[in-house]
């Protein structure tokens, strides 16, 4: 990041001009301050990984790495307060492992490196960030993998090394290989918990009465919400990436899991406007909520937005439930936009 640019981020397909978000905010709405803090967080995670080279990481260490990496994925965290808290958590974990933890890495070294080195390290970093979300969801269902955990330490450490093409290219290839392992891990976690998905017709009608729309990928959060809303007269609808949940036998058995609301995640600011229901974001698909509906948006896990109510680790969804009951839903059944718009 050069002095005249306040931020630099090119980690997703939304990136400005197809080259990178610079200036005071990204296309996704991430501010330059938040982008800078996410760089600091990544540098702290590199430091934690380097600390693991000389001190044995624990299950808590790996979870901290997953949470930290997940925090930096696109459309997850826009909140400087919670990002700073995550940085502090990473530092605390490094200090718990060693009285002489490794120093944080300055991400500007990577952004300002030779373009080949920057590209190789970016492939490793962005590949691991996506993998962190999968590994996190698997962990929430009690599944983890020594191979995947170990690779986070290896890959993050590599980002901090002054290495060339010969050392970095094999790690890029390994990133792809371990990503497949991680996807298989999540598949196993999902199917062993909720059964093998079956072909399922998903209604697009929102029935009258109170309702909650759940978006993101975290099936565990959806299950907990279904249990907590059972018998309360509230219907549950998936949105965006949560759509596949309908196909899992142990989720579709809930009669109040009614259907899918709206279209793709990037249409949420238009489709959530003025809707008399509550919205729960479990993972990466949050766009800056508009004033017209921010009061009915809730986040959980590592998702966070300043001014939005966050459901903590106890996953007690009472505020979401009360909001849905208070709003009351539609007075009559309503057909919402289908998946083809």
- Residue closer to ligand SF4 (CB basis): 128 or 212: 128
> Do the beta carbons of residue 76 and residue 300 sit within 8 Å?
no
Q: Does 12 bind ligand SF4 (CB under 6 A)?
A: yes
Tokens of 97: 């492992």
**Of the two residues 21 and 66, which places its CB atom closer to ligand SF4 in the complex?**
21
Beta strands 297-300; 278-281: pairing state:
parallel
Among 1, 22, 26, 156, contact with ligand SF4 (rule: CB under 6 A):
26
Per CB under 6 A, 175 contacts ligand SF4: no
Choose the stretch contacting ligand SF4; rule: CB under 6 A; options: 14-22, 156-164, 225-233, 308-316.
14-22
- Cβ-closest residue to ligand SF4? 26
Chain CA centroid to CA 77, Å: 8
* Distance separating alpha carbons of residues 327 and 341, to the nearest angstrom: 25
The residue count for binding ligand SF4 (CB under 6 A) is: 12
70 in contact with ligand SF4 (CB under 6 A):
no
**Binding of residue 122 to ligand SF4 (CB under 6 A):** no
> Of these, 1, 22, 28, 110, which contacts ligand SF4 (CB under 6 A)?
28
Q: Which residues, 6+ apart, have CB-to-CB distance to 301 below 8 Å?
A: 70, 136, 216, 218, 221, 282, 283
Distances from the Cα of 197 to the Cαs of 116, 119, 256, 258, in angstroms? 42, 37, 18, 17
Place of tokens 């709003």: 327
User: Binding of ligand SF4 at residue 293 (CB under 6 A)?
Assistant: no
Which residue in the set 27, 113, 202, 294 belongs to the binding site for ligand SF4 (CB under 6 A)? 27
Selected from 5, 6, 15, 80, the binder of ligand SF4 by CB under 6 A is 15
Instruction: Find the DSSP H helices in the chain.
Output: 32-51, 59-71, 80-97, 107-111, 115-140, 146-159, 165-194, 219-229, 249-252, 268-271, 318-327
CA 217 – CA 219 distance, rounded (Å): 6
Helix (H, G, I), strand (E, B) or coil at 224: helix
One of 9, 139, 189, 257 touching ligand SF4 (CB under 6 A): 9
Residue closer to ligand SF4 by CB (options 118, 256) is: 118
DSSP state for residue 160 in the 8-state scheme: T
Q: Does 11 bind ligand SF4 (CB under 6 A)?
A: yes
Residues that bind ligand SF4 (CB under 6 A): 9-12, 14-15, 21, 26-28, 30, 74
């Amino acid at each position: 990041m050069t002095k005249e640019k306040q931020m630099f981020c090119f980690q997703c397909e939304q990136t400005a001009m197809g080259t990178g978000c610079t200036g005071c905010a990204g296309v996704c709405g991430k501010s330059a301050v938040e982008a800078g803090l996410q760089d600091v967080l990544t540098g702290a995670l590199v430091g934690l990984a380097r600390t693991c080279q000389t001190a044995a990481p624990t299950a808590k260490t790996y979870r901290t790495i997953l949470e930290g990496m997940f925090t930096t994925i696109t459309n997850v965290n826009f909140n400087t307060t919670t990002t700073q808290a995550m940085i502090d958590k990473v530092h605390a974990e490094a200090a718990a492992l060693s009285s002489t933890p490794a120093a944080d890495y300055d991400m500007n070294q990577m952004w300002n490196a030779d373009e080949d080195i920057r590209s190789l390290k970016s492939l490793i970093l962005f590949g691991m960030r996506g993998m962190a979300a999968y590994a996190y969801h698997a962990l929430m269902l009690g599944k983890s993998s020594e191979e995947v955990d170990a690779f986070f330490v290896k890959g993050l450490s590599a980002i901090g090394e002054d290495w060339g093409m010969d050392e970095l290219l094999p790690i890029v290839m390994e990133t792809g290989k371990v990503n497949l392992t991680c996807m298989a891990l999540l598949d196993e976690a999902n199917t062993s918990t909720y059964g093998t998905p079956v072909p399922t017709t998903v209604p697009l009608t929102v029935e009258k009465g109170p309702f909650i729309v759940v978006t993101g990928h975290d099936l565990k959060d959806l299950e907990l919400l279904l249990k907590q809303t059972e018998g309360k007269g509230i219907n549950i609808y998936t949105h965006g990436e949560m759509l596949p949940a309908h196909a899992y036998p142990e989720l579709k058995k809930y009669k109040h899991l009614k259907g899918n609301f709206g279209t793709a995640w990037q249409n949420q600011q238009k489709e959530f406007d003025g809707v008399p229901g509550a919205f729960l974001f479990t993972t990466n698909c949050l766009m800056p909520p508009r004033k017209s509906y921010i009061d009915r948006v809730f986040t959980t896990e590592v998702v966070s937005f300043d001014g939005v109510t966050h459901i903590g680790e106890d996953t007690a969804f009472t505020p979401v439930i009360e909001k849905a009951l208070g709003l009351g839903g539609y007075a009559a059944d309503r057909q919402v936009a289908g998946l083809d718009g």
